[in-house]
Structure 1
Amino acid sequence: MPGSAPLTTKDGRFGYEAAGDPASQPLLFLHGIGGAARAWRGQLDFFRDRYRTIAWDMPGYGGSAPLPDVSIAALAGALQDFLQAVGATNPVIVGHSIGGMIVQQWLAKNPRTAGAVVLAQTSPAFGKPDGDWQKSFIDARLGPLDRGETLVTLAPSLVNELVGDDPDASGMDLARDCMAAVPGATYRATMLALMGFDLRSALKAIAVPTLVLSGSKDNNAPAPMMAKMASYIPSATYVELEGVGHLANLERPLAFNAALDQFLKANVTATQVTA
């Protein structure tokens, strides 16, 4: 199977992986807080026959430079810069977890630029910055770092807490490897960027075909919440993967790819584009 290629934008700002014909429509994948571009290699290869498949390292991850101040709005601005840097015209954008929040923020300023979007295991809001649940969520994830642990030691337990039933073994190896490689400062800053995020009022304005994808065993982005989210998006298709936790593309790559493939075939006509 052909592999994806680790690349860097000409300005050196972003690291990413890509596969497929550069003249094909871009299909871009955005990872979550514990991820990396390489977490999407199974999707880059699966869809490379019809699309120019691309996965970025979010700023501060892998080969991408960190942002001076991390927020969802700043990350959405970085996404726009990345799209321009790689010449991605009329992209289909798949955002997982915080990646899906970035997509929503980007859509608010670029409502008709994408060919379609996928909001995978994400949320339209994190809630009040001073809310008890929000504080508890952040404390549970940053507390071990405050006590001197590292993501290298925490990765196995963090990944185990995220997944559902019978996850793919190789996918779990990759998930742990990605989590362990996240710099502690990046993990902390990106986690804190969740605080105050709320685009629930913008869901009704999403004007492109949208797949809202959940896992029935996902405790971070629960399926009932995601089903409700989909009900507010005029063009949404909702899919729930049974037995899947928060890392669908790594836990059940065949099911994830099939759901995405079905959505793309029904809603996107892959085209040759000129960067």
Structure 2
Amino acid sequence: MSVIDKRERDCAAESTGLLEQFPEQRCATGAAGTIGYREAGAEHANHALPVVLLHGIGSGAASWVRQLDALGASRRVLAWDAPGYGVSTPVHGASPAAADYAGSLNAWLEALNIERCVLVGHSLGAIVAGAFARAAPGRIAGLLLISPAGGYGSSPAATRESRRDARLGMLAELGPAGLAEQRSGNMLSPFANEDARAWVRWNMARIVPAGYAQATHLLANADLASELEGFCGHIKVAVGANDAVTPPTECQRIAVAAHVELQVIAQAGHAGYVEAPGSYSTLIESFCRQCDTQRSAS
């Protein structure tokens, strides 16, 4: 470990300490390959709906460590490394669609014998969650989209290509460490403390370039609003008031597509669950409890 890398870990010491309580696990899923993930609260599997956390394009399972700690006290919580991230097997093809990632998600949940869950998608993870909701709505007890990325699939081809190529060019020029140094600040609000900033940088610096490149194509190809058409399950859309990546004005379009009111969380940026973990853990747990109640009523 380099001196700089050690300093980053030390700055985020509390998060790193928690991370050691939820070590990386690996699950063989057959044709979809291996999925890496972290888990908490397995002992509650028979008492409440499990909740599955899907990270964004510049992150990973480790970024959800505070939610694993908080939510795991009352229910089973799982955070995956998306295909192409960590040790997870990439999806097939250089320019995949959301359905490809949803297929890997389905295979992972099948392998873990999770028949039904609450699905939480952050940013690009919301696109995967939306595709899964379209493909397997009966397996979702609730869909919570946090700072959802809408994708550029409905944009003109020139727009899709320019956004895609700009991100790929930045990856090629800077690499993961450079991206973390230059882009991580956009993920947080002015209210974030240095520990949160260090933790976002630490996670972003560990992206796998090939997986990030595939996810960049996914972002260019996807259209979350269209994926949500026809989904009649329990759904909520939330965003930080200070989100500069997927601002409230953009998330409002997703909320309209989902036929719900957008919830705006004060003093939070794009990675609000990192900088304001208490508020976001409460948001997720409250939503999960609503889903628990609906399951009991049915």
Q: Aligned letter for 1:157?
A: Q
Matches of 1:19 and 1:239 in 2, distance apart?
27
Which residue of structure 2 aligns with residue 177 of structure 1? 202
Shift of 1:204: 4.1
> What are the superposed Cα offsets for residues 200-240 of structure 1, whole Å, 9 maximum, x if unpaired?
24434222211201122223222122223223324x45311
CA-based RMSD: 2.4
Pick the aligned partner of 1:21 from 14, 33, 42: 42
Q: Aligned letter for 2:34?
A: R
Consecutive aligned runs of 4 or more in structure 1 exceeding 6 Å deviation: none
Pick the aligned partner of 2:130 from 93, 104, 108: 104
CA contact 1:28–1:55 (8 Å) conserved in 2: yes
Pick the aligned partner of 1:79 from 85, 91, 105: 105
Shift of 1:171: 2.6
Q: Would you say 1:186 and 2:207 are equivalent positions?
A: no
> What are the superposed Cα offsets for residues 18-67 of structure 1, whole Å, 9 maximum, x if unpaired?
01134243111011111111111110111112211100111111121122
CA 1:267–1:68 in 2, change beyond 3 Å: closer, same or farther?
closer
Report the secondary structure of 1:145's partner residue: helix
Which residue of structure 2 aligns with residue 233 of structure 1? 258
CA 1:54–1:142 in 2, change beyond 3 Å: closer, same or farther?
same
Matches of 2:229 and 2:99 in 1, distance apart?
19
Which residue of structure 1 aligns with residue 288 of structure 2? 264
Which structure 1 residue ranges, 5 or more long, are not aligned?
none
Matches of 1:140 and 1:124 in 2, distance apart?
18
Report the secondary structure of 2:138's partner residue: coil
Q: Name the TM-score, length of structure 2 as normaliser.
A: 0.82
Which residue of structure 1 aligns with residue 11 of structure 2? none
Shift of 1:169: 2.7
Matches of 1:51 and 1:269 in 2, distance apart?
14
CA contact 1:14–1:56 (8 Å) conserved in 2: yes
How many correspondences in the alignment? 270
Q: Aligned letter for 2:42?
A: D
Q: Aligned letter for 1:154?
A: L
Pick the aligned partner of 1:209 from 224, 228, 234: 234
Matches of 1:135 and 1:220 in 2, distance apart?
19
Which structure 2 residue ranges, 5 or more long, are not aligned?
1-17
Q: Aligned letter for 1:80?
A: N
Matches of 1:174 and 1:249 in 2, distance apart?
11
Q: Name the TM-score, length of structure 1 as normaliser.
A: 0.88
Q: Would you say 1:9 and 2:35 are equivalent positions?
A: no
Pick the aligned partner of 2:269 from 245, 250, 253: 245
Identical residues among aligned pairs (%): 27
